[in-house]
Amino acid sequence: MQINPVPPVSFSRAVPQYAIERYAIRDNKMASDCFCKTVNVKPSFGMHPGIKIARKSFGISKAGERTELFTLTNKNGAMVSLSSFGATIVALKVPDKNGKKIDVLQGYDSVKGYDGTPNGHAGGTIGPCANKIGGGTFTIDGKSYQLENNKDNGKTHCHGASAGFDIKNWKSEVLKNGVRFTLLRPDGEGGYPGNLKTTVTYTLDDDNRLRVHYRAKSDKDTILNLTNHAYFNLDGAENTQENSVYNHIVQLPHSSRYTVNGNYSLPTGEIARVYGTPMDFTTPKRIGDVIETDFTQLAIGSGFDQNYCVDGYNGKDMIQIARVESPKTGIVMNVSSNLPGFQFYSANHLGKKTQPLGRDGRIYEKRSAICVEPQFYPDAVNKFDEKPILKKGQIYDRSIIYEFGVNK
C-alpha cells in the first residue's frame, strides 16, 4: 500500500527532504519508546554566520517579571520572534512567491496578550503534558497522581493547566544562530512528580528552516509531552476573519491512521484508518472541501481537532508529517518531527469575546488558522502502549522542524 508522493515544490535553493519511506503498519501497535535514543537530525543545523539576533523588552508579566523578545533574521530576510514568556513563537516572516515577507503566525504585540488570558496557547511551548488527560489521573510504577482538571467542566486536564509551561517566564540564553530557553519545574508543581529541567532551543538557518529542540531530565519518573501550539495562516496572519484558511491545501503524507475521539474529545483507545473518510489527507486536499463534511469525528471537534498517528515512527528519525500550501501567497510549510503523533487543529474555538486583541487590534476568529502540533497521543499515559513517561535520569530529546519555501 503506497501513499502518493509529496508534490514537488520550487524553492529558492536546494531543500533537504525529511520524508521517509512508509513502514509496514501494525494495527494499533507502536514501537516501545525510550527517551535516551540517539535522535537523527540533519547536521546542517550548525552555525550560520548570517543569522542576526536582536533583543528587547516584551513587557512586565502579571507576576512582575521582566520578559524579553528575541528576533532572529537570516540572510534571506526571513525572521522569527521568540518570547521568554512561554518560550513562545510570537511572529514568523517568510518570503512569498513574489519575495515579499509575510508574517504567517498569529501572535500578540506584548506579554499582555499571552499572560493569563484565554488566547488558545498561541505559539507557546506546551507542557508538562500537551493535550488532554482523562480525569487528570495517571499511574507510574503503581503510584497514582492527580492533576488539576481545567477543561470540560472539571473532567479533563489539558496543556498543564495552571502549571502550563506556556505561562511561565523562562531563562534565556543567546546562541550564535538561535536562543535557548530553560525552565526548572519543582517536584509536585501542578501535581506532576519530579524536579524537571527543560530546555527549548530555537535555531534558524539560511534555508528558512526553524528548528525547535526539546531536552529535559527529571530526578523522578514523570510524564512529559512537549509541543508548540503555533497558529499558522500562510495567506498572512492579518487574515483574521472566520474560515480564512479554507483555501489552504493540506497533505499529511505519513498518516494513514488517527486516534478515534469520544466524550470530551478524549481518545477511546481505538486507532482507525483514514481511507474513505474526510480525515484522509494522504493526498493533498483543500480544507474547505472537507471540513464541513457530516462525520462524527468532525462533529466532536467542531472541525479538525484530531490526533494523527505517524507511519514509520521509531523515535529517532525526523519524518515529514505535514505539507501546507497557500495558493494565494505560494508559501509552502513542511513540518517534520520525531514524535509519534500530531494534533491537526483548525482553530475551531477561536473567536471568543474574551480573547485579547491580536495585531492591528483584531480578534483572531474561528478557523482563521491551523495548527500542526507534534506530540505523544492524547491521554496516552492511560490509553496507549506508547506512553510519554520519562524515567529518572533519562533524557527527553525531541525536535520539530518548520521548513518554508514557495511554489511558484
Answer whether residue 335 is part of any domain: yes
pTM above 0.85, yes or no: yes
Answer whether residue 14 is part of any domain: no
Beta bridge partners of 374: 342
Answer whether residue 3 is part of any domain: no
Residues of the domain holding 101: 52-406
Whether 21 is catalytic is no
Contacts of residue 243, Cβ cutoff 8 Å, sequence gap at least 6: 288, 366, 367, 368
For the four alpha carbons of 148, 150, 152 and 157, in that order, the dihedral sign comes to negative
In this model, does residue 38 exceed pLDDT 70?
no
Answer whether residue 44 is part of any domain: no
Q: Which of 68, 325, 365, 373 is catalytic?
A: 373
CA 61 to CA 50: how far, in whole Å? Answer: 32
Answer whether residue 19 is part of any domain: no
Mean pLDDT of the chain: 89
pLDDT at 39: 43
Longest CA pairwise span in the chain (Å): 58
pLDDT at 49: 61
Q: What is the DSSP string of 121-160?
A: TTTPEE-SB-SEEETTEEEETTEEEE----BTTTTEEETT
- How sure is the predictor about 32, in pLDDT bands with cuts at 50, 70 and 90? very low
CA nearest neighbour of 402 among 323, 287, 285, 310: 323
CA 197 to CA 353: how far, in whole Å? Answer: 36
Beta bridge partners of 157: 133
> Who has greater pLDDT, 26 or 92?
92
> Who has greater pLDDT, 18 or 263?
263
pLDDT at 195: 98
Answer whether residue 124 is part of any domain: yes
In this model, does residue 47 exceed pLDDT 80?
no
pLDDT at 50: 76
Answer whether residue 27 is part of any domain: no
Mean pLDDT of 134-154: 95
pLDDT at 117: 67
Q: What is the pLDDT of residues 148-187, one digit of tens each?
A: 999 999 999 999 999 999 999 999 999 999 999 999 999 9
Answer whether residue 39 is part of any domain: no
What whole-number percentage of the chain has pLDDT above 90?
Answer: 85
Mean pLDDT of 344-349: 97
Q: What is the pLDDT of residues 386-402, one digit of tens each?
A: 999 999 999 999 999 99
- Count the alpha carbons within 13 Å of 189 in the hemisphere toward its beta carbon: 19
What whole-number percentage of the chain has pLDDT above 70?
Answer: 88
pLDDT at 99: 96
Q: Which of 121, 213, 229, 254 is catalytic?
A: 229
pLDDT at 119: 73
In this model, does residue 14 exceed pLDDT 70?
no
Q: What is the pLDDT of residues 186-236, one digit of tens each?
A: 999 999 999 999 999 999 999 999 999 999 999 999 999 999 999 999 999
Whether 229 is catalytic is yes
> Who has greater pLDDT, 79 or 50?
79
- How sure is the predictor about 408, in pLDDT bands with cuts at 50, 70 and 90? confident
Q: What is the DSSP string of 32-70?
A: PP-TTSPPB--TT-S--TT-EEEEEEEEE-TTS-EEEEE
Could you give the number of structural domains in the chain? 1
For residue 320 the three cell numbers come to 515529514
pLDDT at 3: 35
Q: What is the pLDDT of residues 78-127, one digit of tens each?
A: 999 999 999 999 999 999 999 999 999 999 999 999 997 667 899 999 99
- CATH number assigned to the domain comprising residue 264: 2.70.98.10
In this model, does residue 68 exceed pLDDT 90?
yes
